[in-house]
Each structure stands twice: as C-alpha cells, then as structure tokens.
Amino acid sequence: MTTIQARFQLDYGDFKLDVDLKLPGTGITVLFGHSGSGKTTLLRCIAGLQQAPLGFLEINGHIWQDSERNLFLPTYKRPLGYVFQEANLFPHLTVRENLHYGLKRIKHNSGTVKLEQTLELLGISHLLERMPGHLSGGERQRVAIARALALNPEVLLMDEPLASLDFKRKQEILPFLSRLHQQLDIPVLYVTHSQQEVAQLADTLVIMEDGRALASGPLSETQSRLDVPLAQDREAATVWQAAVAEHEADYHLTRVAFAGGSLSLPAVDAEVGTPLRVQIYARDVSIALEAPTATSILNVLPATITGIADGRDGQSVVQLRLPRMAEASQSVGNRCDQVGDQALLAHITRKSALLLGLQIGMAVYVQIKGTSLLN
C-alpha cells in the first residue's frame, strides 16, 4: 500500500532535484546513490528542512506540502524522527534524560511505538543512567535512533546513520536495525551509499542519480533492473527475503523457503520460521535449458527469462523471474507482499547466451552455485 507520495522540484543551479515517488507505508525504503546524487536533499525536503518551490508530500493520508495550494507544514509540526550521521546527543544529559527531552516537547504519545519496546529492540535498556561521553559510537547511535522513535513519528528519516562508525560498530548496529524493521510498523526512509546496507536492510530500493530517481521498487526487482548500473556491477546481486523451513542435520544443511520455492544452505543456527535474507551474486548463477539431472549443485530452480543485456567484458546480464509458489509464500509470511515475484540476475558469458539461444520469455532452469546469508 502506498502511503508516501513525494514529488519535489528544486533548482540549486548546478544541481536540480526532480523526483516523483510513491513509496510503501511499511518497511525500510533505502535511498541509494553516489555522493551528490541528491539523497540528503530529498530527505531534507521530506523533513521540511528544505522547501522545494514545487512540491507535494503526503504521508499516511496527511498532506505536509502542496505548493499548488501554498501549503507547507514547518518541520516542528511534522510527526517525524530524523537520525543524522552523528548522534547529536546532549552531552550534559544522561541517556534517560536525552530520551525524555524529546518526549516533553510532544503533547501526547499514543502511537504504536512504546519507549520500553524501543529500548529493548535497540538493546540499550541497561545504558539509561550513562552519560553520552561514556558510550561507544554504536551505542550513541542506537540511543539517537531510540530518541527519534520516542517521538512516535509517522515516518523515520535516517541519513547515513552508520557512516561515522567503523566496520565493527556497523556490524554491531545492523542487527538492531533489522530487528526494528521487523517489529515496527512505521516507514523508514534510509539514506546510504553502501551496497551492504542496501542488502541487509532494504525492502524497497530507490536508486538516485543526478537528482532523479532512476529506479524505485521492491528490492530484488530493482536490483535486477537492466536499465540501472547496479545490474552490470561485478558485485551485482539480488537479495531474497526467506524463512528457515527445515534443518537437514545429517547433511549439515538448512532449507529456507522464499516466495519462489526453497534453497538449501549450509546449516543455519536458527529456529524454523526465523526470517532471514539470502544474497545471490549474479556471477554464481548459471542457466540450463533443461532440468539438469546429473549435477552436484543442490539449488536448481525453474525460472523465466525476462530480459537480456550486454554486460562488461564479454558478459551477458540475464534477468530472470521465479514464479511465486503458494506454499513457500506462506512460510515467508506477509513479508512476501513486499517482495513481489522473485527476481534474479545471472552473469554468464555472451558466448553461452548465444550458444543456448537465450531469449526473453524462455523457460529455463537456474543453478545457484553459492549463496550468502545476511542476517
């Protein structure tokens, strides 16, 4: 369901923002793009920190800006949370006081996000009496996220919240963000230029370039679009949302179900039903015209070719779609509604594509040589 509509036109001279986006009202929407592509400017327009002369913004049925009607809600009247690169906590207040500072400024706190729930989700309940100077960078950022959520926002805006943290701290905080996203109902708009954060967090992906949204939609669908540069990248991959379906202890394998079937992975230490994300690199996918009967590859799935493009260095980029299977969809639960049919990319040699006579619309089998588990 679309609950965010954002149209903005703004001209800085050298840079122009021109976007028209319809985004879902749940899950994490990642705004991804190179430095200078306009991600922060877009977020600032949504927050009302920057007023686009031409703009329309509707969140959950409430109109925050409509330039045609001369309507512009100032930032302080917009029920939103904003998390910046730096945590910006008050250094002279404890964590508890920092959290309550925001609460005092809003009249009521009747929404779905409860402070206790947030503290638990972010793993900071034990830090309430600490001063910010005595927290690690990752802990400070988790408190900043809790402070933004304590305001009971209708939308949470996060501008590269992990950018100032080192690799170890990023790894520490990503699972908390994943948990937040599984348990909270509010939409999150998350700016990053990290493909790793896209893979681990995004439900919806918006690819920004030169002030425009080059592509926007469910994660695997957008990652596999042939008209955006990501599909050509050596690291091109698609991420599937899945759930643990069965453990095959004798073989040290776990079967995970996704909207288009199931995959066998090296044993995962998680209960049946646990949601997880599986990343499949395009270079690890090969294509066969018939179901291979003698192969050591466990993950062979039927698919349909939906697009073919020339890749770099003699490669073809093949876009595929796996049909949704009712039984598998049930194991993954509602999360499937956000992912649509399962899209997949394969990088194969142009010679193989030619020899196999690959064409759009052909029914084929994909062999997946390797997968990586993201959370």
Ligand X SMILES: Nc1ncnc2c1ncn2[C@@H]1O[C@H](COP(=O)(O)OP(=O)(O)OP(=O)(O)O)[C@@H](O)[C@H]1O
Count of residues binding ligand X (CB under 6 A)? 11
> What are the backbone angles phi and psi of residue 102, rounded to the nearest 5°?
-65, -40
Stretch touching ligand X by CB under 6 A, among 39-47, 180-188, 197-205, 312-320: 39-47
The verdict on 39 binding ligand X (CB under 6 A) reads yes
Of 1, 35, 313, 314, which one interacts with ligand X (CB under 6 A)? 35
Rounded (10°) angle between helices 95-104 and 137-150: 20
Stretch touching ligand X by CB under 6 A, among 38-46, 283-291, 307-315, 320-328: 38-46
Would you give the DSSP letter of residue 229?
G
* Residues from 173 through 212 that contact ligand X (CB under 6 A): 193
Of 26, 29, 37, 315, which one interacts with ligand X (CB under 6 A)? 37
The verdict on 33 binding ligand X (CB under 6 A) reads yes
Stretch touching ligand X by CB under 6 A, among 29-37, 179-187, 311-319, 349-357: 29-37
* Shortest Å distance, C-beta 14 to ligand X: 6
Of 40, 178, 241, 331, which one interacts with ligand X (CB under 6 A)? 40
CA distance 25 to 155: 9
Comparing C-alpha atoms, which of 122, 123, 144 is closest to residue 132? 144
Would you give the DSSP letter of residue 328?
H
Q: Give the pairing of strands 363-368 and 285-288.
A: antiparallel
Between 30 and 263, name the residue whose CB sits nearer to ligand X.
30
Between 170 and 255, name the residue whose CB sits nearer to ligand X.
170
Between 41 and 216, name the residue whose CB sits nearer to ligand X.
41
Between 191 and 332, name the residue whose CB sits nearer to ligand X.
191
* Shortest Å distance, C-beta 35 to ligand X: 3
Buried b / exposed e over 297-322, threshold 16 CB at 10 Å, is eebebebebbbbeebeeebbbbbbbb
Between 196 and 338, name the residue whose CB sits nearer to ligand X.
196
The verdict on 41 binding ligand X (CB under 6 A) reads yes
CA distance 235 to 32: 15
Between 39 and 142, name the residue whose CB sits nearer to ligand X.
39
* Residue 173: CA count within 13 A, CB half-sphere: 23
Cβ-Cβ contacts under 8 Å for 2 (sequence gap 6 or more) = 22, 23, 24, 25
Comparing C-alpha atoms, which of 225, 219, 172 is closest to residue 198? 219
The verdict on 161 binding ligand X (CB under 6 A) reads no
* Shortest Å distance, C-beta 259 to ligand X: 32
Query: Tokens at residue 281, please?
Result: 């690199």
Buried b / exposed e over 96-129, threshold 16 CB at 10 Å, is eebbeebeeeeeeeeeebebeebbebbbbeebee
* Shortest Å distance, C-beta 236 to ligand X: 21
Between 15 and 251, name the residue whose CB sits nearer to ligand X.
15
Please report, as ranges, the residues that interact with ligand X according to CB under 6 A. 12, 15, 33, 35-41, 193
